[in-house]
């Protein structure tokens, strides 16, 4: 899909669908009023008759006469103008564009969704409108041989009226496009069936992106992992015949101490010998959503050419049962020399992250953020499709990540790293054990990871967020791409050591 900025006046525009935002409590203004003039007052008439209210995400399609050059108009509600924020605009833009697509439009035009006295700068609203539109139009049809129900949208235009034609607005729109496309890239990777997204395929996709956008890239294989002594990752991969990979991407080398992002890349998690129940096991193709988020975020950081040094690490392998699998009671030795007693082979994410967190220390990082679909306990705590859990050993870092999440429209709720969790992962045979049972699941998983850190660090548990059960305006069912935009907003705002 082609995305363009357009300075064409609304009075002469022709496209298959025009989106017109309306507020619940304020009269039409700006581009919405212009659109109403073009439609001979039809929108105001519908408002007067009570057929258009402007409530949040209320989408009313109009079908103007043929000679107008606008076969479809979607009037989209933004709610009360005083409550308007970028996230509401993102959701409304997604809802409206999807409705236009469902009505068969292949070219869509929309103005930025802007309140007259916004809580945020107009640039934030421009960015959010573009993000919502591109995110909302996402579909995963790669493996369907039958013709899609509706033709794909080929052209999306953001209409910048005279008052908005400033370089800062063009650049905000471009940022929105990059962030949305990177999120959609992560969605593609997570939606791919597990045999189409093996560790090697993920590594290949990362190398391809790196080449396209000028990231330095390297992939460590089994041999290099053995030489390094990544016994935890090697333990997890042992039951699978797919070779593992540690994907390493780097941007801005030389720009000081780096931010290191680490993403869990289990391309299929059966639980291993501690086998999961069969029901819904297919969803475990999404256990690499952290890796997808980190790799996609790195591509956006490169495209935006952010003035930061950033490193992305994605340890990737499968977790399968076989005669060579690691098993409960096994002893593993991580890269930092710590010994681990395996209690559950289904607590594999923290094992591959242990080696990646240890590996990160060689960069002398300013901060490390890992993103992982780690525990069902986190979903129980915060709810499916609601919020990710976040843990940190550093308050300022935690605050910066939460602020970035807020900008991105991704909720991160802080959870504690109490000393009691550390007590529960003590082992009678090794330095730590990888599970302490069900009842302290989320706290002990983070306490385990902390054992492998030696720098300001935060851990995002995105288990309830990676694969949506319910759609909203800009997130379809299936892979959400959660985390990409938070990581990039965090890197954009990074202003020094945490």
Smallest distance, Zn ion to C-beta of residue 190, A: 13
Please tell me the count of residues contacting Mg ion according to CB under 5 A: 3
Q: How far apart are CA 190 and CA 185, in angstroms?
A: 9
In the complex with Zn ion, the residue whose CB is nearer, 31 or 349, is: 349
250 binds, among Mg ion, Zn ion, none (CB under 5 to 8 A by kind): none
The residue number whose beta carbon is nearest to Mg ion equals 346
Over the window 210 to 249, marking each residue x when it contacts Mg ion by CB under 5 A and - when it does not, the resulting string is: ----------------------------------------
| CB 271, min distance to Zn ion, A | 8
- The answer to whether the CB of 239 falls within 8 A of the CB of 324 is yes
Active site residue 119: no
139, 177, 269, 341: which one contacts Mg ion (CB under 5 A)?
269
Q: What are phi and psi of 451, to 5 degrees?
A: -60, -15
Identify which of residues 250 and 287 has a Cβ nearer to Zn ion in the complex. Answer: 287
- Catalytic site includes residue 350: yes
Q: What residues from 362 to 421 belong to the interface with Mg ion (CB under 5 A)? A: none
Stretch that binds Zn ion, among 85-93, 188-196, 283-291, 306-314 (CB under 5 A): 283-291
Q: Choose between 72 and 285: whose C-beta lies nearer to Zn ion.
A: 285
Contact (CB, 8 A) for 374 and 397: no
Give whichever of 95 and 373 is closer to Mg ion, judged by the CB atom: 373
Active-site pick, 90, 181, 350, 468: 350
Residue 263 main-chain phi, psi, to 5 deg: -125, 130
| Cα separation, 208 vs 302, whole angstroms | 13
Q: CB-wise, 318 or 346, nearer to Mg ion?
A: 346
Rank residues 91 and 348 by Cβ distance to Mg ion and give the closer one.
348
Number of residues lying near Zn ion (CB under 5 A): 4
Closest distance of CB 260 from Mg ion, Å: 23
Residues 220-279 within binding reach of Zn ion (CB under 5 A): 266, 269
Active-site residue (options: 174, 222, 276, 327):
276
Could you tell me the smallest distance in angstroms from the CB atom of residue 414 to Zn ion? 22
Q: Which is nearer to Mg ion, 330 or 406 (CB)?
A: 330
- Give the residue, chosen from 16, 177, 287, 341, that forms a contact with Zn ion under the rule CB under 5 A: 287
Shortest distance in whole angstroms from residue 288 CB to Zn ion? 9
Among 346, 370, 451, 461, binds Mg ion (CB under 5 A): 346
Q: Is 318 among the residues that bind Mg ion (CB under 5 A)?
A: no
Pick the piece of the chain touching Mg ion (CB under 5 A) from 8-16, 170-178, 265-273, 395-403: 265-273
CB of 333 to Zn ion, least distance (A): 21
Chain residue at closest Cβ approach to Zn ion = 269
Contacting residue, 290, 312, 349, 389, with Zn ion by CB under 5 A: 349
Residue 24 touches which of Zn ion, Mg ion, none (Cβ within 5-8 Å per kind):
none
Residues that bind Zn ion (CB under 5 A): 266, 269, 287, 349
Catalytically active residues are: 276, 350
Binding stretches for Mg ion (CB under 5 A): 269, 346, 348
């Amino acid at each position: 899909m082609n995305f363009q900025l357009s300075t064409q006046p609304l009075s002469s525009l022709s496209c298959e669908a025009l989106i017109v935002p309306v507020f619940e409590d304020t009269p039409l203004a700006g581009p919405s009023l212009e659109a109403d003039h073009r439609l001979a007052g039809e929108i105001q008439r519908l408002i007067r008759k009570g057929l258009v209210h402007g409530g949040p995400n209320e989408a009313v399609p109009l079908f103007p006469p043929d000679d107008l050059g606008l076969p479809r108009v979607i009037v989209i509600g933004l709610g009360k103008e005083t409550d308007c924020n970028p996230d509401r605009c993102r959701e409304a833009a997604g809802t409206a564009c999807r409705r236009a697509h469902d009505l068969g439009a292949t070219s869509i035009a929309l103005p930025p969704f802007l309140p007259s006295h916004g809580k945020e700068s107009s640039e934030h609203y421009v960015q959010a409108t573009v993000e919502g539109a591109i995110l909302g139009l996402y579909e995963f049809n790669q493996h369907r041989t039958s013709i899609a129900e509706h033709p794909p949208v080929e052209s999306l235009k953001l209409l910048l009226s005279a008052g908005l034609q400033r370089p800062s607005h063009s650049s905000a729109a471009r940022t929105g496009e990059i962030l949305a496309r990177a999120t959609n890239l992560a969605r593609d990777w997570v939606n791919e069936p597990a045999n189409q997204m093996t560790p090697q395929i993920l590594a290949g996709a990362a190398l391809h992106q790196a080449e396209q956008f000028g990231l330095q890239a390297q992939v460590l294989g089994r041999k290099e992992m053995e030489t390094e002594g990544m016994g935890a990752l090697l333990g997890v991969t042992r039951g699978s015949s797919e070779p593992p990979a540690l994907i390493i991407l780097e941007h801005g080398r030389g720009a000081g101490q780096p931010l290191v992002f680490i993403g869990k890349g289990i391309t299929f998690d059966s639980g291993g010998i501690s086998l999961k129940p069969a029901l819904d096991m297919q969803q475990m193709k999404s256990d690499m959503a952290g890796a997808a988020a980190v790799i996609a975020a790195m591509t956006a950081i490169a495209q935006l050419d952010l003035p930061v040094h950033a490193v992305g690490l994605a340890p990737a392998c499968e977790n399968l049962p076989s005669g060579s699998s690691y098993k409960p009671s096994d002893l593993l030795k991580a890269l930092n020399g710590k010994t681990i007693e395996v209690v559950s082979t289904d607590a594999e994410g923290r094992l591959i992250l242990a080696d990646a967190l240890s590996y990160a220390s060689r960069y002398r990082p300013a901060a490390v953020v890992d993103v992982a679909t780690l525990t069902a306990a986190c979903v129980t705590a915060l709810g499916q499709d609601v919020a990710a859990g976040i843990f940190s050993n550093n308050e300022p870092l935690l605050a910066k990540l939460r602020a970035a999440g807020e900008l991105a429209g991704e909720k991160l709720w802080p959870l504690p790293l109490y000393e009691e969790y550390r007590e529960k992962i003590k082992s009678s045979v090794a330095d730590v054990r990888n599970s302490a049972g069900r009842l302290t699941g989320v706290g002990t998983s983070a306490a385990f990871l902390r054992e492998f850190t030696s720098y300001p660090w935060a851990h995002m548990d995105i288990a309830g967020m990676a694969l949506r059960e319910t759609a909203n305006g800009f997130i379809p069912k299936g892979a959400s791409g959660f985390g990409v935009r938070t990581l990039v907003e965090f890197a954009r705002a990074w202003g020094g050591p945490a």
